[in-house]
Structure formats: C-alpha cells, structure tokens
Amino acid sequence: MKKASRDEAPKVSRMANYLLTIRENSGLALASLKQFNQPNEVFFCDNFWKLYQIRRNRDRNTQDKLRQVLTDTAAKLSGSFVRQHLRELRQPIRVGRASSRRSRNGKALG
C-alpha cells in the first residue's frame, strides 16, 4: 500500500493515500462507516474494500462502530458475496506478507 501511495499515476496514489489515512485517522474512518448506515447490497459490493482498511484502525470507537456496521449488514443482507466478506472482516488481522496468504485450495495468493 505504501508503495502504491508513491505511484506516479495520480488515481493510484490518491486512493492508496486515502486507504492509508483511514487506517490511522479515526475521524475519517468513522465518517466512512456512516455511509454504511443503510445496508444495501449494491453499495456494499462497491465499498466493502473500505471496511478492510478501517478494520486496521486501532481506535476503540472505530472498532465498535465497525462491529455495529458488520452486525447490521449481516442482519439485512444475505448475498453470498456479502456473507463471504463479512466472515473475513470478522476474523483477526493476519500479520505477515500478502504473498504468504493461501486460497481455500492451498495455492498461494498474491
């Protein structure tokens, strides 16, 4: 992510900097979570990636709000895409390199 934040393509660097910021800035993370107040499958599918970065924010209020968003979303949305990401978002963050991750069939990802 840090490498992408220095990318020469403005869209790439802006998005990477935004994602790095919501990892650290609880105010921005909480504002982003407010967008999830009315669970909607189309919105979720377009914006679920924000939740993965917000999950890395260590602020207690942010984590509480994230849990609330995940609970509310699970109660209202039932699509397989949504369920898959909700399961993953509830898991503890794995420390390590992305290239060491494995898919369900054991093949390396990344």
Per-residue pLDDT of the chain (110 residues; tens, 9 = 90+): 666 666 567 777 888 889 899 999 999 999 999 999 998 999 999 999 999 999 999 999 999 999 999 999 999 999 999 999 999 999 988 766 554 445 555 555 44
Distance separating alpha carbons of residues 47 and 32, to the nearest angstrom: 10
From residue 88, alpha-carbon distances to 12, 44, 70, 83, 110 in Å are 25, 14, 11, 9, 17
Can you tell me the distance from the alpha carbon of 20 to that of 11, in angstroms, rounded to the nearest whole number?
A: 14
Task: Tell which residue, 59, 68, 110, has the closest CA to residue 89.
Answer: 68
**pTM for this prediction:** 0.76
pLDDT value of residue 77? 95
Q: What pLDDT does residue 100 have?
A: 45
Q: What share of the chain is helix, strand, coil (3-state, %, to 5)?
A: 65, 0, 30
pLDDT of the residue at 3: 66
Alpha-carbon Rg for the chain in angstroms: 15
